[in-house]
């Protein structure tokens, strides 16, 4: 707020002064119904004042946001442009393979290709969201989304390593996930006073669920195994993302994966660690409540590495010269992106 007159406390003081019945809220002799009526009346007045103040200044606020986004882009232009290039290449690869898997593909590798192509499409979507957050100055949100990207990479590697049978189980497990989600919605929609799932929808989902149980057995559809019931116990004894990550040799990213979660936790780590935070002259960390021009390097580099990995995973499934050339080009591009982010980050450190 720019002045005392615009603060929430000042608005509340004015409303209480204008509406003497507001003081009745402090009168404990009033019954609960009367107090609730007074409270509701004052809340309506308060919200009306806030709407009037905020909505009238929206254009100015949006102008400030656009100007800040311009400053962020001006600072990080080179790596952000390179991230756009990386996304463009990976999208094209995704589109090409989606077309191939849609037309059938080889009988031995169809399921693996379908699974990996779907994973890459999902990775491109998540990466695009990360890119928009970075351009707007929200590194913490971008870093959190990188966790999802890393999970996509690990599952892709796992499917690629274990072949068509595991890939088919992965694809078919969609029916199990749909059933558990529908079951949860059905259970709670009465409490939420909504009807987002009809009985016919639930019946159809349940039918597919039973079909999967018949094909793969009880272990596949057991709720305690969700969401990794698609993994055979003969392949992975302890079924969890952490074990998937370890089995494909990407557990070196585990500390960074955990660190990315600290940014959004409600506990003390969420307060102490913020990528967009900068120490003031007294060496105190100032936690930003809005966008920041700091801290884009870590999520930017991590996202580039992960998108390169999941794209290479699909391309390398069938080694041929054209695919190998694309993979090598992507590796060089990711290195260039990481170097560009690191240089800008170093400039911030030198100037602080």
Cis peptide leading into 227, omega within 30 of 0? yes
For residues 158 and 180, membership in a common domain is answered with no
Considering the domain boundaries, does residue 35 fall inside one? yes
Return the closest-CA partner of residue 46 out of 13, 1, 5: 13
**To which residue do tokens 């409600």 refer?**
266
- 344: three-class secondary structure by DSSP: helix
Distance between CA 350 and CA 275 in Å, rounded? 17
Q: What is the pTM of this model?
A: 0.84
List the structure tokens of 51.
């709407």
- Please give the structure tokens belonging to residue 147: 């966790």
Report residue 249 as tokens.
């040799």
Residue 249 shares a structural domain with residue 120: yes
Secondary structure (DSSP) of 12-80: HHHHHHH-GGGGGGG-TTS-HHHHHHHHHHHHHHHHHHHHHHHHHTHHHHHHHHHHHHHHHHHHHHHHH
Domain tally for the chain?
3
Whether residue 68 is contained in a domain is answered as: no
Residue from 232, 101, 243 nearest 170 by CA? 232
Say if residue 146 is in the same domain as residue 277.
yes
Residues 6+ apart with CB under 8 A from 222: 229
From first to last of its 352 residues, what are the pLDDT tens digits of the chain?
A: 444 446 888 888 888 778 766 555 556 566 777 778 778 888 998 999 888 888 888 888 889 899 999 999 999 999 999 999 999 999 999 998 877 655 444 444 589 999 999 999 999 999 999 999 999 999 999 999 999 999 999 999 999 999 999 999 999 999 999 999 998 888 887 777 676 778 888 899 999 999 999 999 999 999 999 999 999 999 999 999 999 999 999 999 999 999 888 766 655 555 445 565 555 455 555 566 678 998 999 999 999 999 999 999 999 988 899 999 999 999 999 999 999 999 999 998 787 6
Instruction: Dig out the tokens for 101 from the structure.
Output: 């898997």
User: How many angstroms separate the CA atoms of 44 and 17, rounded?
Assistant: 16
Residue 27 is predicted with a pLDDT of: 61
The verdict on residue 198 lying in a domain is yes
Instruction: Please indicate, yes or no, whether residues 270 and 331 belong to a single structural domain of this protein.
Output: yes
Helix axes 110-136, 58-102, angle to 10 degrees: 170
CA distances from 130 to 32, 95, 143, 232 (A): 48, 20, 8, 33
Tell me whether residue 183 is in a domain: yes
Task: Note the pLDDT of residue 103.
Answer: 45
- Domain match, 203 and 332 both: no
Question: Both 241 and 202 in a single domain?
Answer: no
Q: State which residues form the domain around 259.
A: 77-164+234-351
Same domain, yes or no: 204 and 262: no
- CA quadruple 233, 237, 241, 246: dihedral positive or negative? negative
pLDDT given at position 244: 98
Residues 187, 329 within the same domain: no
Q: Which residues contact 266 (CB under 8 A, 6 or more apart)?
A: none
Based on the domain organization, do 247 and 344 belong to the same domain?
A: yes
DSSP for 276-300 reads T-EE-TTS-EE--SS--SS--HHHH
344 and 242: one domain? yes
pLDDT of residue 275: 67
In a domain, 62, yes or no: no
> Same domain, yes or no, for 32 and 157?
no
Residue 240 is encoded by which pair of tokens? 């969890």
* Residue 286 domain flag: yes
């Amino acid at each position: 707020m720019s002045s005392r007159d615009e603060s929430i406390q000042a608005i509340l003081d004015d409303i209480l002064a204008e509406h003497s019945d507001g003081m009745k809220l402090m009168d404990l002799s009033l019954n609960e119904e009367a107090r609730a009526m007074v409270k509701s009346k004052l809340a309506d007045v308060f919200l009306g004042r806030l709407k009037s103040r905020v909505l009238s200044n929206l254009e100015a606020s949006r102008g400030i946001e656009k100007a800040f986004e311009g400053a962020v882009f001006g600072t990080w232009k080179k790596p952000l442009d390179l991230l756009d290039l990386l996304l463009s290449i990976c999208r094209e690869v995704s589109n090409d393979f989606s077309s191939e898997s849609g037309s059938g593909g080889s009988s031995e590798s169809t399921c693996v290709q379908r699974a990996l192509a779907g994973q890459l499409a999902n990775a491109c979507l998540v990466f695009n969201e990360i890119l928009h957050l970075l351009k707007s100055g929200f590194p913490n949100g971008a870093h959190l989304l990188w966790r999802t990207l890393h999970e996509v990479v690990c599952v892709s590697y796992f499917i690629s390593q274990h072949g068509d049978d595991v890939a088919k189980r992965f694809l078919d497990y969609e029916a199990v996930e749909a059933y558990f989600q529908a079951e949860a919605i059905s259970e709670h929609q009465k409490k939420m006073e909504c009807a987002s799932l009809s009985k016919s929808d639930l019946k159809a989902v349940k039918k597919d669920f039973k079909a999967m149980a018949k094909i793969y057995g009880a272990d596949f559809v057991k709720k305690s195994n969700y969401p990794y019931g698609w993994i055979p116990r003969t392949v992975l004894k302890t079924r969890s993302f952490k074990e998937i990550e370890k089995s494909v040799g990407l557990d070196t990213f585990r500390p960074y994966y955990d660190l990315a979660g600290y940014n959004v936790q409600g506990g003390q780590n969420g307060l102490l660690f913020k990528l967009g935070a900068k120490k003031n002259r007294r060496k105190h960390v100032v936690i930003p409540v809005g966008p920041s021009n700091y801290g884009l390097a870590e999520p930017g580099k991590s996202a580039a590495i992960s998108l390169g990995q999941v794209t290479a995973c699909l391309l390398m499934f069938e080694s041929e010269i054209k695919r190998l050339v694309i993979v090598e080009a992507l590796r060089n591009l990711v290195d260039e992106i990481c170097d560009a982010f690191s240089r800008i980050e170093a400039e911030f450190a030198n100037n602080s």
